Amino acid sequence: MTQRLTFILIGLLGGLAFWGLFDAPLAFQGSWAFLPTVVVAASFFFGAFAMLADLGTRRALAFAAAIAVPVGGLALLEGLSFTDADQMFSSGHALVALTVVASLPVPFAMAVGLEGRKGLTDYRVLFIESWNIVVRYLAAWVFVGVVCVVLWLMGALLDLVGVHLLSDLLRADLALWLIVGATLGLGFSVVAEMPDMVSPYLLLRLLRLLTPLVLVVVVIFVVALPLRGLGHLFGDLSAASALLATALAAIGLVSVVVDQDEIEETHAPILAWSARGLALALPVLAGLAIWALALRVRQYGWTPDRVAAFALAGIVAGYGLGYLGALLSGRRWMEKLRQANVAMAFVMIGLAGLWLTPLISPEALAARAQLARFDKDRATVAQLPVWEMAHDWGRPGAAALAELRLRAETAPLLARRLAQLDAAPNRWSFGRTLPPLEPEGLALPAGLAIWPDGAELPQGLEAAFLSALTARERAECDVPPEASPPEAGRAEAGPPEPGAPPCALVLADLTPARPGPEAVFLRAREWGEPRIFLRGPNEWETGLRPLILGADRVPQGADLIAGLLAGSMAPVPVDLQALQAGDWQITVLP
């Protein structure tokens, strides 16, 4: 009973603290002290609840404070780079780094409290305590949810007979915070008292069963990738995100299979070999993710999200190399893999700590890189993330934007983009169209073919096309084709034929309901989807995703240009029927 009362009291104190913080005067919420205070409170109460049952009240509170205070200091350092807390948390990566430095040290503190210094490397204690925290918090929060639903139903029932006391109580912020805190403490104390019934072992045994399935999917992906084509992988940040998410899932499953020690590790051959396969696949997934991100950065430059993605890819690569070394160590590979997990946990804590200091500032890195990219090639002005610099990248973004305003004195196109930024009321209205390109010595690339032959580009298309052209695309398209004409009828897949242009801009009326033609930009070195320019109300717009029908194979750009040269490219109607419903039409794409 004493332990339950202690948990409930700490929960009440936590509820009172957060009520005081979030109901504090707006002047305090907007001050520099608000953010680190919230972080200290969240870190302290998280660690206190996690360690209380195993270490006792005094040591649990001491260890929780020892973790929370430095985390609050790091939050203060990171917050100095942003104008307010909302801007900091909207960046995403700062919240992840704070979560890492606040949560990962807790199992190490518990291990030290139970076993002294040797607990820092005792994988058995670290593993089971980490999973105990996860399971206990899940169970306690489920209990909180059930209690809140029951109280709400009871309040609704009493409202039917004119008794509104409970409903009014639940509407009061202070009462609600105290109820949630006390209920969380009570639920956590009950869960901690029943370690045999509420333990992570069942969850871990179930997760193990996913290992063969994930391995099969990863193997199919790696085998099918060269056959399907690299265009769908190496052109989109979301593809790299999917690779990294899969790699993180593989790390978790491999760790679950090897478990805490030789007794609890899996003894089923299929699970052991599946874990080996996933461990071997990790370097491949990490390499593909890094490659995809590198191409994206080369095309559009650095952003804070891409810096964070590269950091995550580096962590995955570290796990992959550690697991590969463990596999090469021989029969005791599972023991070596556990040691690699401990080492990588320290690496993640250190990296997250540095991430929250001026030594590693994704916004500053991205801002400097975008400035250098613009100075190197002013044709990239349409790709400059000026809105993000102004509203999302904190003080480094604002400083970079100020530098761009100085450069705008000699760059008319940049000046127009900044004027568009200043006039835009929100993110969605900004950048819908590209401003007209001022003469800055830019011309159409020498190797760009216009189809139909001799056609003149509609007004505004040349400016929009040159503005959207990346430095890499310009370099590819600026190579004139060889003098010898291509052979008639040649339309094979693969590299362009001798004399074939490296790029083409095809004019065709693809949307008869809109006036004038559209333009399709083809590159011989491109895999997958070409880019389409559509005439908007005022200017030309790009960014539309084409739907490619026909063969199962994703075409190369060379295939499409070969078809153009062979005379097999022409506008054709597509058989579609639509269901008319007032002003709307419903149809199914073939």
> pLDDT for 207-230, tens place per residue?
999 999 999 999 988 887 766 555
Residue at 436 is within a domain: no
Of 423 and 516, the one with more pLDDT: 423
Residue at 435 is within a domain: no
Nearest-10 crossing angle of helices 333-355, 123-159: 60
Residue at 166 is within a domain: yes
Residues 463 and 581 in one domain: yes
State pTM to two decimals: 0.75
Phi/psi-derived region of residue 528, left when phi > 0, alpha when psi is between -120 and 50, beta in every other case: left
Among residues 313, 329, 355, the one where a domain terminates is 355
Mean pLDDT calculated for residue range 70-93: 87
CA proximity to 206, closest of 100, 131, 285, 279: 131
Residues 33 and 156 in one domain: yes
Q: Is the distance from CB of 125 to CB of 143 less than 8 angstroms?
A: no
Confidence label for 495 from pLDDT (cuts 50, 70 and 90): very low
Mean pLDDT computed over every residue of the chain: 83
Residues 142 and 286 in one domain: no
Residues 375 and 336 in one domain: no
pLDDT exceeds 80 at position 503 = yes
User: Between β-strands 540-544 and 578-581, what pairing exists: parallel, antiparallel or unpaired?
Assistant: unpaired
Residue at 100 is within a domain: yes
Of 535 and 323, the one with more pLDDT: 323
What is the distance between the alpha carbons of residues 192 and 252, in angstroms, rounded to a whole number?
24
Answer whether the bond into residue 452 is a cis peptide, omega within 30°. Answer: yes
Domain range for residue 194? 2-199
Residue at 529 is within a domain: yes
Residues 250 and 327 in one domain: yes
Residues 384 and 491 in one domain: no
- pLDDT tens profile 271-323: 999 999 999 999 999 998 898 888 888 888 899 999 999 999 999 999 999 99
Residue at 443 is within a domain: no
Which residue bears the tokens 């593993």?
127
User: Between β-strands 518-523 and 531-535, what pairing exists: parallel, antiparallel or unpaired?
Assistant: antiparallel
**Residue 269 burial (CB < 10 Å; 0-12/13-18/19+)?**
exposed
Residues 557 and 514 in one domain: yes
CA 278 to centroid of chain Cα atoms: 22
Q: C-alpha angle 315/317/323, rounded to 5°?
A: 105
pLDDT exceeds 90 at position 525 = no
Residues 193 and 208 in one domain: no
CA proximity to 39, closest of 104, 98, 105, 103: 98
- The H or E element that residue 502 is part of is none
What is the predicted pLDDT for the residue at 498?
61
What is the distance between the alpha carbons of residues 288 and 234, in angstroms, rounded to a whole number?
8
Residues 372 and 507 in one domain: no
Among residues 355, 384, 415, the one where a domain terminates is 355
Residue type for position 321: L
**Length in residues, the chain:** 590
Contact residues for 273 (Cβ-Cβ < 8 A; gap 6+): none
Q: Quote helix, strand, coil % in the chain, to nearest 5.
A: 65, 5, 30
Residue at 337 is within a domain: yes
What is the distance between the alpha carbons of residues 439 and 467, in angstroms, rounded to a whole number?
11
Query: What's the total number of domains in the chain?
Result: 4
Percent of the chain exceeding pLDDT 90 equals 41
User: Between β-strands 584-587 and 578-581, what pairing exists: parallel, antiparallel or unpaired?
Assistant: antiparallel
Confidence label for 527 from pLDDT (cuts 50, 70 and 90): low
Residues 343 and 296 in one domain: yes
Residues 72 and 188 in one domain: yes
Residues 244 and 271 in one domain: yes
Strand extents, DSSP E, 293-335: none
pLDDT exceeds 50 at position 492 = no
Structure token digits, residue 355: 């991430």
* Alpha-helical regions (H) of 91-210: 93-103, 105-115, 123-159, 165-171, 173-193, 201-208
pLDDT exceeds 60 at position 489 = no
What is the predicted pLDDT for the residue at 316?
95
Residue at 366 is within a domain: yes
Three-state DSSP at 494 gives: coil
Three-state DSSP at 588 gives: coil
Dihedrals φ, ψ of 246, to 5°?
A: -65, -40
Dihedrals φ, ψ of 448, to 5°?
A: -90, 120
Q: Is the distance from CB of 52 to CB of 10 less than 8 angstroms?
A: yes
Burial state string for 503-532 with b = 16 or more CB within 10 A and e = fewer than 16: bbbbbbebeeeeeebbbbbbbbebbbbbbb
What is the distance between the alpha carbons of residues 476 and 176, in angstroms, rounded to a whole number?
62
What is the predicted pLDDT for the residue at 583?
60
Among residues 355, 388, 406, the one where a domain terminates is 355
Of 495 and 484, the one with more pLDDT: 495
